[in-house]
Structure formats: structure tokens, C-alpha cells
Amino acid sequence: MYHKRLRQAGHTRQFEIREAGGAWEVQAAHDSEIVKQARYDDWHRVERTMMAFALEVSALERDGWTAD
């Protein structure tokens, strides 16, 4: 549903939202460390998380990170 991976200087950032059995699983990782993981059954929380991810991705791209 939403997947974005960015790279810079050997580091990665990954943002993902996927549907899973009537709910949505949300995950953000910096390199191999998971920094956010949640399961939502409320679509409004998913929308807010997607907007937050998009803002963070935009800021990282402005700072020189590139998408895979």
C-alpha cells in the first residue's frame, strides 16, 4: 500500500504500510533497526501515519537521500 526506501552514504531508511487481515501494519526502519511498528484498525490513524511518513521522506530527499 505504501513503501518507500531511501539511501544515503551507506545508510537506509524504510517506511511501509501494508494491509494485513482487516487491519494495517505500519513500520519504519533506520538501517536494520525498527524505530516504529504498529498495527492499526482505524483508517484515520493510517492516514495520519502515511502523511507523517510522506513529510519525513520529503525532508530526507531535500537533504540528499535518494529513493530506490
pLDDT at 33: 98
- Spatial separation of the C-alpha atoms in residues 62 and 65, rounded to whole Å: 7
Q: Which strands make up the sheet holding 11-20, listed edge to edge?
A: 33-40, 23-30, 11-20, 2-8, 66-67
pLDDT at 29 over 90: yes
Q: Terminus-to-terminus CA distance in the chain, angstroms?
A: 16
Each domain of the chain, given as residue ranges in start order, spans 2-62
Residue 34 to residues 1, 26, 28, 30: CA-CA distances in angstroms?
Answer: 19, 11, 6, 6
pLDDT at 45 over 90: yes
- Mean pLDDT of the 20-33 span: 96
pLDDT at 68: 87
